[in-house]
Amino acid sequence: MDTTAFTLSSVNFQYNKSPVLNTISLTIEKGKFTSICGKNGSGKSTLLKLLAGILKQQSGEIFLYDKKITEYKSRSLYKIMSYVPQVHTIEIPLTVSEIILTGRHPYHNLIEQDKTLDFTLLDKTLNATGLTKYKDSLFNNLSGGEKQKVLIARALCQSDDIILLDEPTSSLDIGNKIEIMEILHELSRNGTTVITVSHDINEVNNYADTVIFIVDNQAVTGTKESLMNEQYLGTLYNANIQSVEYNGKKLFYY
């Protein structure tokens, strides 16, 4: 059984002839929680968009399972994966349920009418994200944390195989951060491949199975023990990073 979700081979990407990612070669394991980290502007979100098929590399290959990502038709691709961007602007006054059901778009054509599975999945994702009581509420009236959970639910309604998220907790308070990370962690434990971009090294250390650092346009991979430590993080971020053990978890501070 294939345990690899993504394989990247010598991938290069640039904006306006300015290199962003250079000869990126790595694998991302299926059914695991992987976080992409690095300094501001290092190329983290660019890598995520390449994995999502939103951007196209200038050279090299990206495989999703055993097939080049460029060989998938859009409808087929987004039945396998879903993408939650960092910035969300939804001006139309839609309810939580209506927003979540937009994730079912890849499964329907103009003549399909049977939506039984859609509503079954709606109930399932509302329950998984703790949103059942908000199902008829207007999305724009929700808090930031609640909105983030709706967007995760929409992604799950689209595909619970692979979900990619760009800084899913960046604008949330501590309580909502923990709740979102617990939802994502539980998804990965149940077999969903979760890939996030994150600046929060404590979130990454406590929830991710694997970490990828983008450093000087290249990918640095390794065990969490080799990367999530004071020496490596201090050198990478040019900061005096220390750690403490609390309730069985390592917490970094500076």
Three-state DSSP at 109 gives: coil
| Residue among 155, 226, 210 nearest 6 (CA) | 210
d(CA 27, CA 65): 10
Helices (H) and strands (E) in the chain, counts: 9, 12
Least confident of 49-53, 55-59, 113-117, 213-217: 113-117
d(CA 33, CA 204): 9
Q: Decide if pLDDT at 179 tops 80.
A: yes
Q: What predicted TM-score, i.e. pTM, was given to this entire model?
A: 0.94
Q: Are the C-beta atoms of 253 and 244 separated by less than 8 Å?
A: yes
d(CA 168, CA 145): 10
Cα separations in angstroms, 238 against 39, 67, 200, 233: 10, 40, 16, 8
Place of tokens 């778009």: 105
User: At 149, which helix (H) or strand (E)?
Assistant: helix 144-158
d(CA 169, CA 21): 24
Q: Which CATH number fits domain 4-253: 3.40.1180.10, 3.30.70.100, 2.40.110.10, 3.40.50.300?
A: 3.40.50.300
pLDDT in tens, 211-249: 999 999 999 998 888 999 999 999 999 999 999 998 888
pLDDT in tens, 8-54: 999 999 998 899 999 999 999 999 999 999 999 999 999 999 999 99
**What's the token pair of residue 84?**
């939650």
